[in-house]
Amino acid sequence: MKSILSRRTLVKAGLLAGVGVPLLGVPTQEVHAASPTPLDPSDPLAKAMGFTTDASKVNASANPTYKPTQKCGNCAQYQGKESDATAPCTIFAGHTVPAGGWCKVWAQKPGK
């Protein structure tokens, strides 16, 4: 009985299938990282950290470390420039905070 497929043809087909099958699972569109969303003050972590979107409204008696000059924009955790309206924060991963906000983790930016 004569074989229709040669051994060489079978090996080539096997190699091509081995390369081709994994490529079928590769997405055809680029994957984009989700852009950060504004931090909701009612978020459990935000509440625990005493986060507020307006530092001028911080209850100083309830937050003895608060000083009127402290704002997210001049905090070491703020990932933007002080002049940016909002920027990501290292404390609230995946979220942006307003430059005029404040939380209990405020720390002076180095060199200020």
Read off the CATH number of the domain in which 95 is found.
4.10.490.10
CA distances from 96 to 16, 35, 78, 100, 102 (A): 47, 9, 9, 12, 12
What is the mean pLDDT, run by run of 10 residues, along the chain of 112 residues?
Answer: 71 69 58 80 95 95 94 95 94 96 94 70
SS3 state of residue 20? helix
In a 10 Å sphere around its CB, with 0-12 CB exposed, 13-18 middle and 19+ buried, how is residue 86 labelled?
buried
SS3 state of residue 70? coil
Please report whether residue 9 resides in a domain.
no
What pLDDT, on a 0 to 100 scale, did the predictor assign at position 112? 64
Please report whether residue 28 resides in a domain.
no
Domain membership of residue 57 as a residue range: 36-105
What pLDDT, on a 0 to 100 scale, did the predictor assign at position 42? 95
What pLDDT, on a 0 to 100 scale, did the predictor assign at position 77? 95
What pLDDT, on a 0 to 100 scale, did the predictor assign at position 24? 62
What pLDDT, on a 0 to 100 scale, did the predictor assign at position 66? 95
What pLDDT, on a 0 to 100 scale, did the predictor assign at position 7? 78
